[in-house]
Structure 1
């Protein structure tokens, strides 16, 4: 018997799932509070955490990401545009959707980053989201991840 086909991830999309031992409300707060956001990704930034609100954050070295919040549905879902002020992925040109589901152990985080322009940008963003959701997981579970070892790496 042939197993059922699973839908393929589009070539312009990064998907990631993470299990976090913290309630969805706790995890969600790391996406809607400036200091908490910067505790896992970035060194400084401005954020207007409301639908249509903008953000601009220095993620690594001189690399600044910016975009707008599209959907904020606490503590379940957050959607925002993403891109770099300089680089191959233009500011606000892609879309990141974060979904949080309660589990017996805490939360299942599901991230979909779509609209990336090249396979290289998909690969770079997959590596970056892996790195930053690792840091987010530690923070949400109550462990400080320490200084980001990537502060001076350029981001494509």
Structure 2
């Protein structure tokens, strides 16, 4: 499984992921911006204003309270960024030579010690995204068919990724 890496992004701690899909950027863009598609892989129900400065609402995540953020970048089908709590999520989509798409995703963290926790969660979510865009059944990261979170977390901690942030629900 592709692992996230702990990086410094403009002086802030972040977790970086890169995934390549055999679908064009427009297909993946839809999966990361449309509420009905986000429901298959994102950890919360999302309502997103498709413009810079717009509001993004997060509800339905069993591990955190509802909240909202601000859209920081909205450049279809290449760049999307928004705040979620004190974190920032950044998506960069680039076409591949074979008609697919490479997604580089950053979770810019409020706190360094959240790296392993968040990396484990996003690893689960990105597996669900891969299933969804490929047409397979993706019931979301909180479903019984999703990869389990705990082994992912344990692997990140064992690999030395910063850890220690509170784990919601525990």
TM-score category, normalised to shorter length: 0.7 to 0.9
Going from structure 1 to structure 2, the CA distance change for 1:12 and 1:65 (only over 3 Å counts) comes to farther
1:98 match: 91
* TM score, norm. by length of structure 2: 0.70
State the SS of the aligned residue for 1:135: helix
SS of equivalent residue, structure 1 residue 81: strand
Query: 1:68 — aligned with what?
Result: 70
Q: Which aligned pairs between 1:1-150 and structure 2 lie closer than 5 A?
A: 9-10=7-8, 12-42=13-43, 44-58=45-59, 60-63=61-64, 64-82=66-84, 91=85, 93-103=86-96, 104=98, 106-119=100-113, 121-149=114-142
Q: Is the 8 A contact 2:39 2:140 kept in 1?
A: no
Structure 1-normalised TM-score?
Answer: 0.76
Unaligned runs of 5+ in 2: 1-5, 145-166
Match of 1:88 in 2: none
Find the aligned partners of 2:169 and 2:123 in 1 and give their Cα distance: 14
Contact residue 56 and residue 65 of structure 1 kept, 8 A = yes
Given that 1:16 and 1:111 are in contact with CA atoms closer than 8 Å, whether structure 2 keeps it comes out as yes
Q: Deviations over 1:115-151 (max 9, x none)?
A: 33132x1111111111111111111111121354359
Identify, as 1 or 2, the structure richer in helix.
Answer: 2
